[in-house]
């Protein structure tokens, strides 16, 4: 986008845009471009100095401790790295909350059932919006073949699940990852993952509302 377009959108002067973009780039934001050409925000993440209250720091660190207990190797390592980065920029009060937390997650689980299909393969299918052809064994031991559009991974206390749109059932379904005996990544599914996630959460809200509503005669 050009500085002129950004200035119109934000209702500020072009000089303000030039100054702010230069400041963002100096702080590590992946901004590229120059005056007279335009600017691009490339993919990437930068963490500006954190100004968290004690309660906010407690909430963030509680979430990281939960991930450390229930995540897989990828998420556990990511949580440790994030914890170190956040701790380095927290004010003194926040660092005290990290060292002496007032809140802790529940007891650590004693391991999860082994997966035959690596979670990284499921992550890849989710991130690239690819169909998954899976062999699935249900709780009764019956094996079925499904083609799903995977949208999310869930980390529960005693199991991990992949949420996806099932072409066979024409509905969203949960599949325990330890019951997926094989998975083959296919072509892109004909939908935006963001839309599917919104539809799924809308369905969950509707189901919760129906369960809570009084019976109608």
Q: What is the mean pLDDT of residues 203-213?
A: 72
Residues 52-105 pLDDT 10s: 777 787 888 889 988 988 888 999 999 999 888 888 777 776 677 677 777 878
Note whether 20 and 27 are within 8 A (CB). no
| Per-residue pLDDT tens over the stretch 152-173 | 999 888 889 999 999 999 999 9
Q: Give the pLDDT confidence of 28-62 residue by residue, as tens digits.
A: 778 888 777 888 887 766 655 567 777 787 888 88
216 band by pLDDT with thresholds 50, 70 and 90:
very low
The domains of the chain, with CATH numbers, are 3-41 (no CATH), 54-99 (no CATH), 119-211 (2.30.30)
Nearby residues of 131 by Cβ (< 8 Å), 6 or more positions away? 125, 147, 148, 149, 185, 186, 187, 188, 189
Is 0.75 topped by the overall pTM?
no
């Amino acid at each position: 986008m050009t500085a002129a377009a950004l200035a119109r959108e934000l209702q500020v002067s072009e000089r303000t845009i030039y100054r702010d973009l230069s400041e963002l780039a100096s702080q590590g934001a992946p901004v590229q471009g120059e005056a007279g050409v335009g600017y691009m925000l490339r993919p990437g993440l930068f963490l500006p100095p954190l100004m968290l209250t004690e309660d906010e720091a407690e909430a963030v660190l509680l979430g990281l401790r939960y991930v450390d207990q229930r995540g897989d190797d990828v998420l556990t390592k990511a949580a440790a790295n994030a914890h170190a980065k956040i701790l380095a920029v927290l004010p003194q009060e926040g660092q005290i909350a990290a060292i002496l937390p007032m809140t802790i997650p529940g007891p650590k689980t004693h391991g999860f059932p082994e997966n035959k299909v690596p979670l990284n393969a499921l992550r890849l299918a989710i991130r690239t919006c690819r169909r998954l052809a899976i062999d699935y064994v249900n709780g009764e031991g019956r094996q079925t073949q499904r083609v799903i559009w995977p949208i999310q991974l869930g980390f529960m206390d005693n199991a991990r699940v992949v949420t996806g749109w099932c072409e066979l059932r024409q509905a969203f379904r949960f599949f325990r990852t330890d019951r997926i005996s094989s998975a083959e990544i296919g072509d892109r599914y004909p939908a935006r993952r963001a839309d599917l996630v919104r539809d799924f959460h809308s369905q969950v809200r509707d189901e919760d509302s129906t369960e809570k509503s009084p019976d109608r005669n």
